[in-house]
Structure 1
Amino acid sequence: MGLTVSDALGILLTRIAHEKALPLESEKHHREDSPRAGLTPNAETIAAMQQARRGDLETVTLDELQAVLDADD
């Protein structure tokens, strides 16, 4: 293509900064037997992503997180 790695990385990072998202192809561009097929987020995941983008996140300490993880055992 005539691009250096540095040029390609610069283009990628500029696109990420502009779109505020990783430039990944949507599922419709992949065959059903592709390893990336079926990676469409469900409604709960989409809602969590929207919540995170709004900055509406719950802050927890590492100790609180560890307690939740330990409770699942």
Structure 2
Amino acid sequence: MESEIISTTPESEIVTSRILNFPQEIVFEAWKNPEHLKNWWGPNGFTNTFYEFDFREGGKWTFTMHGPE
């Protein structure tokens, strides 16, 4: 898997790109379903608690990323 930060906007939005060896449908499901997303979002060893996850344009995503102890 390759990962690269493509750009940072003035609003502090970070856009990333990854090349994954999975079908497009599986990758999309991993992004849109918080039960899947919480298992892989962030660096290795980190966990996530999602409070809000509205997967629509303009939707709100509120979470805490927990570092390893």
Report TM bin, short chain: under 0.3
Structure with the largest fraction of helix:
1
Pick 1 or 2: higher relative contact order, CA cutoff 8 A, min separation 6: 2
What's the TM-score once normalised by structure 1's chain length? 0.23
TM-score (norm 2): 0.23
Kindly indicate which of the two structures has a greater share of residues assigned to strand. 2
